[in-house]
Structure 1
C-alpha cells in the first residue's frame, strides 16, 4: 500500500503533507533527520493518512492537496483541522514512478472528486442508453422492412393466382399504371381500386400493372408493339416510420401462357 499522510508539528502546530510506502519509517525519518522543510518544525506526529493501492495515485493525491485549495479544505474538514491551519509544502522528488495504468482505491476522495466521478458515471450510462436506444431503433426498422418485403412478395404471388384463374377478366381489363389493392371476395383474391385497411394496422399494399412492349426481336423494350399477353407487375408496400414515409417495391413479369 501507499499512503498520503498529514503530520502536525508539536513545536508550532504546522501541518505537513507527504506520501510514502511506509508510514512508520517516514515519520521516524522526519523526526530523526528530516529535510530542510521538516527539520525546523520537528518533532512531528501523524494525525491523518489515506491508503492507495498504487504509488502513482498517492503521489497525485499528495500534489492535489498541496496545490488544490478545494481538496485541501475538504481534507481539513475530514481531519477536523481548523481552517486556519498552516501547511508546510514540499515537493518530494526522487521517488520511483510507474507508467502502468492503475486503479485508485476508494479512500481519500474529496467532494469535488466525488461530484466529478458521478458526472462521469452519468455520462457513461447515458451514452450506453443512447447506444441501446439506437440499436433498438435500427432493429425495429429492420424488422419492419423485412415484414414489408414479405408482404410485397405475397402481393406478387396473389397476382399470379389471379391471372391463373382468369387473365382475360381479372388482369387484361385493368388500367395500366393505376394502383390496385388486393382483397378477398367470396373466398378468392381480386384487385380493386378501392383503398383497403392497412395490414396489421401498419402496412399499405398496392399492385400496379403496366403494359409491356416488345421490339422486332420479340424482346421486352420500352418502345415497340404492345404484348397483351404480358404484364409488368409492381407490388409496393408503404408504412410510416417515426414520422417518415417508408416503402419497398418488388416487380415481376407475368404472361398468359394458359390463354385464359
Structure 2
C-alpha cells in the first residue's frame, strides 16, 4: 500500500503572486482615480474660463454702453487691459486682477480698417466707430498654461 500525502493550502509562491496581483490592481485603480479627478478639475476650469470670457465680453459691452467717446475711444490700441469691478461699474486697468486666485483675464482693443467697399480689411481707412475686442482667459494647469480667447467687433452702436 502506498500512502500519498496531499498538500493542501497555499505555498509561499502563490501568496507572493496573489499579493503582487492585488497590489498592481490597487495601484492601477488609484492611478485611474487620480487621473479622472484631474480631468474633472481641468474640465471645471475650462467651463469657468468660458464663463469668464463671456463675462469679459459683456463687461466691454457695458463700457461701450457707458459712452463710446468716454470709455472705449480713449483706450490705446494693441494694449493689454484687465477688467476690474468696483462693485458698481467695470473699469479697464493695467493691473492684473486674478479671479479665484487662478484665472487671468485680459482684453485687447484693436483698430479696424475698411477698404473702398466698406469691408473690414487689414489696411485702408480707419473706422473710428468700430473696434476689434479680444478677451482672453489664462490659467495654469499641470503641464503648462492654458489660454482661451474670443474676438468680436464692437461698434459705436449708440453714437455716443
**TM-score (norm. length: structure 1):** 0.58
Return the alpha-carbon distance in structure 2 between the equivalents of residues 235 and 157 of structure 1: 10
Partner of 1:151: 52
Q: CA RMSD in A?
A: 1.5
Partner of 2:69: 168
Return the alpha-carbon distance in structure 2 between the equivalents of residues 186 and 110 of structure 1: 73
Residues 178-211 of structure 1: CA deviation (Å, up to 9, x unaligned): 0111113472212122x13311111111111111
Return the alpha-carbon distance in structure 2 between the equivalents of residues 120 and 161 of structure 1: 61
Q: CA deviation at 1:149?
A: 1.4
Partner of 1:253: 153
Q: CA deviation at 1:130?
A: 0.9
1:219 equivalent among 114, 119, 123: 119
Structure showing greater radius of gyration is 1
Partner of 1:228: 128
Most deviating of 238-247 and 148-157: 238-247
Number of matched pairs? 160
Change in Cα spacing, 1:111 to 1:186, as seen in structure 2 (3 Å) is closer
Residues 57-86 of structure 1: CA deviation (Å, up to 9, x unaligned): xxxxxxxxxxxxxxxxxxxxxxxxxxxxxx
Q: CA deviation at 1:114?
A: 0.8
Report the 3-state secondary structure (helix = DSSP H, G, I; strand = E; otherwise coil) of the residue aligned with 2:73: coil
Report the 3-state secondary structure (helix = DSSP H, G, I; strand = E; otherwise coil) of the residue aligned with 2:117: coil
Return the alpha-carbon distance in structure 2 between the equivalents of residues 224 and 116 of structure 1: 76
Q: Please list every run of 5 or more consecutive structure 1 residues that lacks an aligned counterpart in the other structure.
A: 1-42, 51-107
Q: Does 1:188 align with 2:89?
A: yes
Q: CA deviation at 1:49?
A: 5.0
Partner of 2:12: 111
Return the alpha-carbon distance in structure 1 between the equivalents of residues 57 and 154 of structure 2: 10
Return the alpha-carbon distance in structure 1 between the equivalents of residues 91 and 64 of structure 2: 10
Return the alpha-carbon distance in structure 2 between the equivalents of residues 46 and 166 of structure 1: 101
